[in-house]
Amino acid sequence: MKNILVTGGAGFIGSAFVRYMVNAYPHYTLVTFDKLTYAGNLDNLLPVKNASNHHFEQGDIADRESVQSVLEQHKIDTIVNFAAESHVDRSILEPEAFIRTDVFGVYTLLEVGRQVGIGRFVQVSTDEVYGDVHEGFSVETDSFLPNSPYAASKAGGEMMVRSYHVTYGMDTVITRGSNTYGPYQYPEKLVPFFITEAMDDKPLPLYGDGMQIRDWLYVDDHARGIDVALHKGKSGEAYNIAGEDLRHNIEVAKKMLSLLGKPESLLKHVPDREGHDRRYAMNADKLRGLGWERQMTFEEGLHNTVSWYKTNDWWWRKIKTGEYLDYYKKQYAARLAAAES
Ligand code: NAD
Ligand code: TYD
């Protein structure tokens, strides 16, 4: 392993992985390949701007020619695929882009990678493929019961990866991360959305009763988990990367408000997300068996995250314009109005 293509490396988790790998493995070359959708942001890669072992190429994983060209030009031997449409609420509004990138894009990367003869292919997936887990903790052999178009598209991508391992003998590893939070997360997901809205004293739309449960994982722990799976994972296997720290959404929201010194009256219960999964929970024993441990507690991680958004409003204020405002109107205006009436 020498030349690693990080697809989706300008997004939230991909950029954390790039920032980590560039320093942890100075003898590797990292090439970020990213379409720069609304969620891709070159500011996320500013910390590695001067790294001689990192390069950026703009491109679409569903476009065969550009994938082939980047693989050949940089003599890529390993792919770590973060590229995805990644937000459940957007998948409910407009599912098509999810099928294109999360299923067809994964197929394109696999197929071109196979023809060019790459080595390991790591697919970054999600706990959402397991669906709503009423009790207990998902293990890697559990069946898939995806409930949103996002979860279904990620499950479809995983199935393509599996088929390329079984049929063509491709060296593949899949990781399934739990809800991830930390610096540089696009402010549409719960944690950065609520922090940045609360900083401006805006109402926080909490879906339904706010008693849904998510399993929270700090972004650097997620990035290190992918590194462990990349280097030590067994070919053809999947690995859960779980924070194993389950919290109700309402508790997370109240903790963020308390860290910001803002009143709980900013919280507004709004009509629930359609098909909303109540609970995600995974068991991380298999990855722990390879030597991975979560390092960040939820309290510490949330504290760091709130401080980062407070200190770096230059990063998120320029995002909250244009496309973001259109999305905000489509997603939240009606829900917040319903909560008022
Ligand atoms: P993100 O939305 O912040 O970033 C996605 C990146 O992919 C962006 O930079 C975007 O420009 C790029 N991209 C999108 N379509 C592309 C295409 N067709 N070709 C090339 N690049 C494209 O997402 P994230 O939160 O960083 O998630 C990264 C990966 O981790 C995704 O695969 C997601 O399913 C998975 N995941 C996310 C979480 C989470 O809580 N955020 C948890 C588990 C797994
Ligand atoms: P999100 O960050 O979108 O991640 P996911 O849907 O992948 O779990 O949402 C986390 C939880 O927070 C989820 O149960 C939905 C809820 N949520 C709200 O209550 N209000 C919001 O405005 C958002 C974005 C999410």
pLDDT given for residue 28 in this prediction: 98
User: From atom 14 of ligand 2, which residue's Cα is the shortest distance away?
Assistant: 212
User: From atom 22 of ligand 2, which residue's Cα is the shortest distance away?
Assistant: 205
Three-class secondary structure of residue 309 per DSSP: helix
Is 128 labeled as catalytic in the residue annotation?
yes
pLDDT, tens only, 268-322: 999 999 999 999 999 999 999 999 999 999 999 999 999 999 999 999 999 999 9
Is the predicted pLDDT of residue 327 greater than 90, yes or no?
yes
> How do beta strands 29-34 and 54-58 pair?
parallel
Paired residues of 248 in beta bridges? 213
Ligand 1: which of 18, 64, 82 to mutate, judged by most atoms within 8 Å of the beta carbon?
Answer: 82
Which of the ligands is closest to the CA of residue 176?
1
Gyration radius of the chain's alpha carbons: 19
- Do the beta carbons of residue 212 and residue 173 sit within 8 Å? no
Mean pLDDT on 9-15: 99
Mean pLDDT on 74-89: 98
pLDDT given for residue 306 in this prediction: 98
pLDDT given for residue 338 in this prediction: 86
Helix axes of 64-73 and 106-116: crossing angle, nearest 10 degrees: 40
Is 274 labeled as catalytic in the residue annotation?
no
Three-class secondary structure of residue 30 per DSSP: strand
Three-class secondary structure of residue 246 per DSSP: strand
State the average pLDDT for the chain. Answer: 97
Amino acid at 329: K
298 lines ligand 1 (CB under 6 A): no
Q: Which band of pLDDT confidence, cut at 50, 70 and 90, is reported for residue 218?
A: very high
Domain 3-181+215-241 has CATH 3.20.20.60: no
pTM, full prediction: 0.98
Sheet with strand 237-241: strands edge to edge: 54-58, 29-34, 3-7, 78-81, 121-126, 172-177, 237-241
Out of 130, 150, 186, 239, the active site residue is 150
pLDDT given for residue 1 in this prediction: 72
* Domain extent listing, the chain: 3-181+215-241
Taking the centre of ligand 2 as the mean of its atom positions, its distance from the CA of residue 189, in whole angstroms, is: 6
- Read off φ and ψ for residue 88, nearest 5 degrees: -55, -45
62 lines ligand 1 (CB under 6 A): yes
DSSP one-letter string for 250-284: HHHHHHHHHHHT--GGGEEEEPPPTT---B--B--
Is 72 labeled as catalytic in the residue annotation?
no
Is the predicted pLDDT of residue 334 greater than 90, yes or no?
no
